[in-house]
Amino acid sequence: MSLNEIKSRIQKAEETTGRPVGSTQLIAVSKVQPNERVHAVLQQGHRLFGENKVQEAEGKWPDFKKEFPDTKVHLIGPLQTNKVKNAVALFDAIHAVDRPKLAKKLATEIQSQGKAPDMFIQVNTGEEEQKAGVLPAEADTFIKECFALDLPIIGLMVIPPVNEEASLHFALLRKIAERNGLTGLSMGMSGDFERAVALGATHVRVGSAIFGERDYR
């Protein structure tokens, strides 16, 4: 597939479900991809990317941003507290805020850097042990804690369990967001982004469908 094909599929999903065209932002997930592939997508005019590791992003984005200064990069993977300083400095948004210790560290770092990336709270809707994210039953309380810290929380983020129908998880995320007055929904990947758009995603995170399979060797 190509960038343009993904964009037109997003648009089609917006149209068929009565959403305004252009209301879904496409985050091109460039983790692990060779720099040539990322550069090619930048040259096609795309300017919003996602990475899941702070160190990996630091190794490529400062250079790409020199050539394409209006580029935005979002951190979509888990964040360790010892990387918060670097993450706040580098990223335009952070998608995996999921625990009080991290929230407090982010608040402190925003103060000291005078720079505040947009934030999403990750919800572990599948209640999977190995997965990051706040549990659905604890989400309302944690969201309020983040508001009390003045974090710029714009929405919620989910990675559904691999063997379950993603739409159920997208719908649950949306419900939690709505009852907390949050409008941002970071949900949908290469295999299910159209279903996510249909359920109101404001940000879809698509990697392999744009760049090809990741080679982890």
Ligand X SMILES: *Cc1c(COP(=O)(O)O)cnc(C)c1O
Query: What is the x/- site pattern for ligand X, positions 97-136, by CB under 6 A?
Result: ----------------------------------------
Instruction: Rule CB under 6 A: say whether 160 interacts with ligand X.
Output: no
Instruction: Rule CB under 6 A: say whether 77 interacts with ligand X.
Output: yes
Instruction: Rule CB under 6 A: say whether 84 interacts with ligand X.
Output: no
Q: Which helix (H) or strand (E) holds 50?
A: strand 48-51
Minimum distance, C-beta of residue 206 to ligand X, in the bound complex (Å): 5
DSSP 3-state of 215: coil
Tell me the C-alpha distance between 159 and 24, whole Å. Answer: 17
User: Is the CB of residue 28 less than 8 Å from the CB of residue 50?
Assistant: yes
Instruction: Rule CB under 6 A: say whether 28 interacts with ligand X.
Output: no
Residue 40, exposed/middle/buried by CB under 10 A (0-12, 13-18, 19+)? middle
Instruction: Rule CB under 6 A: say whether 206 interacts with ligand X.
Output: yes
Binder among 93, 189, 196, 198 for ligand X (CB under 6 A): 189
Instruction: Rule CB under 6 A: say whether 52 interacts with ligand X.
Output: yes
Residue 161: how many CB atoms within 10 A of its CB?
Answer: 15
Q: Which residues bind ligand X (CB under 6 A)?
A: 29, 31, 52, 76-77, 159, 189-190, 205-209
